[in-house]
Amino acid sequence: PLPAPPPPSPPPSQPPPSPPPPSPSPPSLPPSLPPFTPPPSPSSPPPSPPPTLSATLRQLTFWFDCRFGGCSDLDSFPTTGPVTEALLILGAVIGGALLLCVVAIVIHFRCRCHCTLGR
C-alpha cells in the first residue's frame, strides 16, 4: 500500500485588511443644475412632422385646381416640390405606355380573331 500523502501546509498568516479611515466630512457639492438647453431661436421654426398622404393629396388637389382651374393667385396655395412633380411626370409616362400596350393588345387580338373567323 502507498503511504498517505503529507498533510497540506497551512497558508501563511496575513493580517486582515484594515478598513480605510473614515473621511472627516465629505466636500460640499454645489446644488445640481438642470441640463443646459439652448433657448429656441426665433428665426428657426419648430420641426414639422412629415406630411401625411392625405396632406400630400390635398396639396396636389390645390395645385391642380390653380394650374388648370384658372386660379387667380397661384402663390396662395402650396406648390409641389420637384420630387412630387417628377413622380407625377413619371406616372403619366408609365400610365401612357401601359394604355398604349393595352390598346395594341386589344387591336392585335381583334384583328387576329377577325382574320381567323373570316376564313
> What is the secondary structure of 9-72 as a DSSP string?
PPPPP-PPPPPPPPPSSPPPPPPPPPPP-PPPPTTSPPPPPPPPHHHHHHHHHHHHHHHHTT-S
Q: What is the mean pLDDT of residues 83-98?
A: 87
Q: What is the mean pLDDT of residues 85-101?
A: 90
How high is the pLDDT of residue 88? Answer: 84
Q: What is the mean pLDDT of residues 89-100?
A: 93
Specify the pTM. Answer: 0.30
Q: What is the mean pLDDT of residues 86-106?
A: 91
Among 2-11, 65-74, 82-91, the least confident range = 65-74
Grid cell for residue 36? 443646459
